[in-house]
Amino acid sequence: MITPCPHCYTRVVAKPDGTCPACQKNTRDLRGADPTRALLRVAQGDKLPAICCDCGEAADRCVAVCRSTQGDADQPSGFVQALIGLLISWPMALYFFLRGIQNTSVVRVDMPQCQVCAQVGLPEPQYVDFKNARMTFVVHKNLQEACQWQPAS
């Protein structure tokens, strides 16, 4: 049966002994678990309610969480590209540069966060899905429950 792990909040099928395959903790042991936290998957462009993702209180601002990646793993590094440009030609360097821009994926999500929690730091996504332009966060349950239209999976 698929259940959320109380330690890493990932939905998993626990091993027969109750161990979570994601974090290796016992899903039956609630010591150290935070019941006020839950997973929330947010797609780029989603408008979230004004509830702080960290403390669950009212939030009067949103912060942008951006992540990017290169889509082509076989592309040479920037140093190698520059070296090729110097040794071969500038058109080849321009080609590699433009190829890198074309293969870059960027996901941006606006997360509600109050001023007090912002002093601790920006929300950090647990997982980024570049293909579908969405991020998964561990958030306060108040925000997750207010977003019933978009449960995490």
Tokens standing for residue 110 = 């606006």
Q: What pLDDT digit, counting tens, does each position of 18-36 carry?
A: 999 988 999 888 888 888 9
Q: Are the C-beta atoms of 37 and 136 separated by less than 8 Å?
A: no
pLDDT of 148: 77
* CA neighbor of 136 nearest in space, from 126, 144, 146: 126
pTM above 0.85, yes or no: no
Closest C-alpha to 36, from 145, 141, 139, 114: 141
Give the contacts of 41 (CB within 8 A, at least 6 positions apart): 134, 135, 136, 150, 151, 152, 153
Whole-number percent of the chain with pLDDT over 90: 49
